[in-house]
A and B are shown apart, each in its own frame.
Chain A
Amino acid sequence: MEILEEKKNKNKKYKPILEGIPNWPVYQLSKNRKEFIEEVTHQSIERIRELRPSNKQLLDDLQATAYREQNRIKRNRWRVDPKDDSAFWSKIKNELVELSTRNPDELTEAINQLLGKIVHRYASEIAGNFKPSSYRFAREAVKFWFARLLNGARVKKFGAFFRNRYTLRDKIHIVGKVKLLRKLARKGTVVMVPTHFSNLDSILVGWIIHEMGLPAFIYGAGLNLFNIKIMAYFMNSLGAYKVDRRKKNLPYLETLKMYSNLAIQKGAHSLFFPGGTRSRSGMIEKQLKLGLLSTAVEAQRTCYNAEGEQRKIFVVPVTLNYHFVLEAPELIEDYLSIKGQDRYFPENDKYGSFQLIRFMIKFFGNRSNISVSIGPALDVLGNYVDEEGNSLDAHNRIINTKDYFISSGELTIDRQREDEYTRMLSQRIVAEYHKINRVFASHLVSFIAFEMWQKKYHQLDLFNLLRLPEEELELDYQEFRTTFKRVRKQVYLMKEQGKINFASHLKGKSDLVINSGIDNVGVFHLNRPLLKNKQGNIVTKDLSLLYYYHNRLAGYSLEQFI
């Protein structure tokens, strides 16, 4: 069979934009880790008191926090949780009870102290721990082992293991506005916001940041990832801070936001996944979590208020494009059960270090490539930014971003206004995701096959359709091919209109592209989402999985061309 290779990667190696780790903002942050945590604690307390001015309100919140934390410890304990968790929270609970005996003049002080304890604990837990030595080591280790895996698996010759014919750059394609990003990273602070499909994203993103010659970013990674030891090691050394999605209480959320806010203000390039969690359905995020995103807006306003240099913040949307998502079966099952019956499934990662390594070996042995699309940079209102860092309107007139925070000639703090700005920014990011999304052959064949079946059984709703026995599903190849050509043409057209992007392997003879798509889609799953049978017709072994991969192209109104 002819192999459809991705166009030879022209990406040259990028030189680092900042020599020497000591200059990196992220290093400065971790060197002064203790002071930084103090600052986060201090400012978070101030903010929480602003949000909950009365002692009664705050006490209610603290009681709810203690109650929920104890519940979490009982019900949903993770390996990363500190050993003294239980002791700490029972102590807090006791202190809360004692508070009721205090007389009113001491009360405020006592509550603030208690709040301080909680917030300080959270801040220390969230804070990353970037160390230059382990960063260098982790970086080299990733490169070395990835290269070994690649060459060993790909070049089937004795000794291939130690060759360097393939590098990671052949495997992971970085496309899009890399140059712009590198320029802007020198001029201001970058906040990168990628789509989130797989636990692998966190590591992948760490690698591409290095590969683009950018200094390490601080980034928000789900605490659950730290359960996996090998992941934890890499994440720590790449500068990650921890986001615990089990904690939804006010002190935690405010501390987390303050951490991100202050880090951005200090000029640390940041990254978080604004979808909040991996996309369960396989669709590109439509609704973003506004909490962390709001910190970019607030940090920008604070920077404009500061004396001296007013650093500008650049928001860069990124999409990660895979043929294959390791945890797809669990994700889609979650999605369907929640959507189907409103049942809640606690998060539960079935992958330990061993599964991860096994996956890596499989992944590197396969032709399955990954591509990362770097989107155009935006200011915190979602306006495009040029190479000089100027925000531009639709007619390329320069906008002074500071003006968004001005009222009657003065810079003002208006949280409601900034909430609205955050919402606007999130919509712009979602729109950019859809534009820079790179269609792979595997996405397109999945989409078409699933939609064809949906059309064939149009009287069934999604859940009934998914319940059909897989043996009954078969698509005539010729019919499939005709539809494929029609839809692909539409994708071409949409690219011309700037509505979507596609990988270069999508072009070419339709038979070959279809074959490569079928070969690649969800290639390592036990049950393949798409196959050809002996007659050459299209069949599936797992319709739910096919639905997952199909969802990647949901929201483009391509259904009408089926």
Chain B
Amino acid sequence: MSERNFSFSTDEKPVGVIGAGSFGTVIANMIAQNRSVLLYARNADVVKHINEKKENRGYAIHPNVQALNDLATLADQCDVIFPIVPSSHFRAMMQQLAPYLHPYHMLIHGTKGFDITLPEGETVESVEKLDRSRVKTMSEVIQEESVAVRIGCLAGPNLSKELAMRQPAATVVASHFQEVIQTGKKLLKSDRFQVYENNDIVGVEIAGVLKNIIAIASGALSGLGFGDNAKGLLISRGAVEMVYLGRALGGDLKAFLGVAGIGDLVTTCNSPKSRNFTVGYRLAKGEKLNDIIADMKEVAEGINTVRIAKKCADTYKVRALITDRLYRVLFEGLNIEEALEFLMRFPLNMDIDFI
């Protein structure tokens, strides 16, 4: 289908971005290069700051971006909305937004985390089983909470800092709807930003979420002072683990081999700019998890993902050694050196057995 079919008849309509964290801000700036943007921030002071100072989290704000604090106006003015908020707030945000949404709205989210619903009084650890009825991707949350059906997601190696500097990068827009993919492409694509298409949205989402686990482990390896052999080992075995877990959760193999899978994995595992990498690095340097979390400005999704992925691996009986050891390091006080020793001694032989 040619792109012309999706030409905009309402070019003047602004595009909405929900969430003024680093990634949300950068995405808003990118879209602002050819469309006006409404950027929603939960906090009224932040809105004021953005509009007055034209600055947020160290990023200059494009003149086409206007911040606001009102979801009703945002939904009313924008047909296309990019929700980019941490996974732990995502459902609550959708519940607030839902009354203003209509089936013609297009939602393309950029959140890499899972949503979990637990029975009253239970925790991820105490609940007996954690299966897909309790673990949802963000696109599924959107569908559950609202009438929106034209849903897509953004995933890929997209470190906010590098995007803001207009360094070359790529992303994947995944959706069941060609219309959504083409719209996302049109809004984001630039001479420094390539956009790929994928129609396995759940696979792409899961790949983006699971890679954060490996990123923490990679940070830990660096923190211990190990070099590139170790990292190569971790990334390749981590990718295999992602495939197994991802398939148990309903993703297709292909998504894991693409930009949102391997691409994102390699980036985050090598980057001190990544929050998840930083968590692992500081752990290896001997800091306590709680101190690290308290010290970070933004959420490192990987920490929660480790808890969820470990429980899912147990429920679906998938062998996920890295996730399992990392869980023990993070939450059960296992020494990083011990975890590494265990992984190195584990008798494994087959390299690749899923293709």
Contact = CB atoms under 8 A, between A and B. Distances in A.
Interface of A: 381, 383, 393-395, 397, 399-401, 403-404, 406-410, 414, 416-417, 420-421, 423-424
Contacts of A423: 176
Contacts of B316: none
B342 interface: no
Given A408-B79, A410-B9, A416 B177 contact: yes
Given A409-B10, A416-B177, A416-B179, A424 B149 contact: yes
Contact of B9 (A401, A408, A420): A408
Nearest to A401: B103
Interface of B: 1, 5, 8-10, 13, 79, 98-99, 102-104, 144-147, 149-150, 176-179
A403 B104 contact: yes
B9 A409 contact: yes
Contacts of A416: 1, 177-179
A417 B178 contact: yes
A407 B104 contact: yes
Contacts, number: 51
Given A393-B146, A416-B179, 9 more contacts: A381-B149, A399-B103, A401-B103, A404-B104, A408-B8, A408-B9, A408-B79, A409-B9, A414-B178
Contacts of B8: 408
Given A408-B79, A409-B10, A416-B1, A393 B178 contact: no
Nearest to B106: A407
B98 to A, nearest CB: 8
B107 to A, nearest CB: 14
Given A408-B79, A424-B149, A417 B177 contact: yes
A416 B1 CA distance: 10
A420 B79 CA distance: 20
A404 B144 contact: no
Contacts of B79: 408-409
Given A394-B144, A409-B9, A409-B10, A403 B99 contact: no
B174 to A, nearest CB: 13
A404 B101 CA distance: 12
Given A408-B79, A424-B149, A381 B103 contact: yes
Contacts of A397: 99, 147
A393 B145 CA distance: 9
Nearest to A395: B98
A395 B101 CA distance: 13
Residue of A400, A401, A410, A417 ringed by the most chain B CB atoms within 10 A: A417
Residue of B98, B99, B144, B176 ringed by the most chain A CB atoms within 10 A: B176
Contacts of B146: 393
Given A399-B147, A424-B149, A407 B179 contact: yes
A108 B179 CA distance: 32
B3 to A, nearest CB: 13
A198 B5 CA distance: 45
A415 to B, nearest CB: 9
A407 to B, nearest CB: 7
B104 A406 contact: yes
B197 to A, nearest CB: 12
A420 B201 CA distance: 13
Given A397-B99, A399-B147, A424-B149, A414 B179 contact: yes
B103 A404 contact: yes
A424 B143 CA distance: 12
Residue of A381, A400, A416, A423 ringed by the most chain B CB atoms within 10 A: A416
Nearest to B80: A408
Contacts of A394: 144-145
Contacts of B179: 407, 414, 416-417
A522 B98 CA distance: 50
Contacts of B5: 414
B103 A403 contact: yes
Contacts of A393: 146-147
B80 to A, nearest CB: 9
Given A416-B1, A416-B177, A424-B149, A408 B102 contact: no
8 contacts: A381-B149, A400-B103, A406-B103, A408-B8, A408-B10, A416-B1, A416-B177, A417-B178
A102 B179 CA distance: 41
B199 to A, nearest CB: 9
The 7 closest A-B CB pairs, nearest first, are A403-B103, A406-B104, A404-B103, A408-B10, A416-B178, A403-B104, A403-B102
A402 to B, nearest CB: 9
Nearest to B1: A416
A21 to B, nearest CB: 38
Contacts of A381: 103, 149
Nearest to B178: A416
Contacts of A395: 98
A559 to B, nearest CB: 16
A409 B5 CA distance: 15
A421 B10 CA distance: 24
Nearest to A392: B147
A401 B8 CA distance: 22
B132 to A, nearest CB: 13
A271 B149 CA distance: 27
B143 to A, nearest CB: 9
A245 to B, nearest CB: 28
Contacts of A410: 9
B247 to A, nearest CB: 20
Nearest to B13: A408
A399 B149 CA distance: 12
Nearest to A406: B104
Contacts of B98: 395
Nearest to A409: B10
A400 B1 CA distance: 28
Nearest to A404: B103
A420 B102 contact: no
B352 to A, nearest CB: 28
A401 B147 CA distance: 10
Contacts of B99: 397
B168 to A, nearest CB: 30
B193 to A, nearest CB: 23
A283 B10 CA distance: 49
A420 B150 CA distance: 10
A424 B176 CA distance: 11
A397 B145 CA distance: 12
B335 to A, nearest CB: 39
Nearest to B144: A394
Contacts of A404: 103-104, 149
A400 B102 contact: yes
Nearest to B9: A408
A401 B103 CA distance: 8
Residue of A400, A401, A409, A420 ringed by the most chain B CB atoms within 10 A: A420
A400 B103 CA distance: 8
A80 B79 CA distance: 53
A387 to B, nearest CB: 20
Residue of A403, A408, A420 ringed by the most chain B CB atoms within 10 A: A408
Nearest to A416: B178
Contacts of A408: 8-10, 13, 79
A90 B192 CA distance: 60
Given A381-B103, A404-B103, A420 B13 contact: no
Contacts of A403: 102-104
A83 B3 CA distance: 49
A75 B170 CA distance: 55
B22 to A, nearest CB: 30
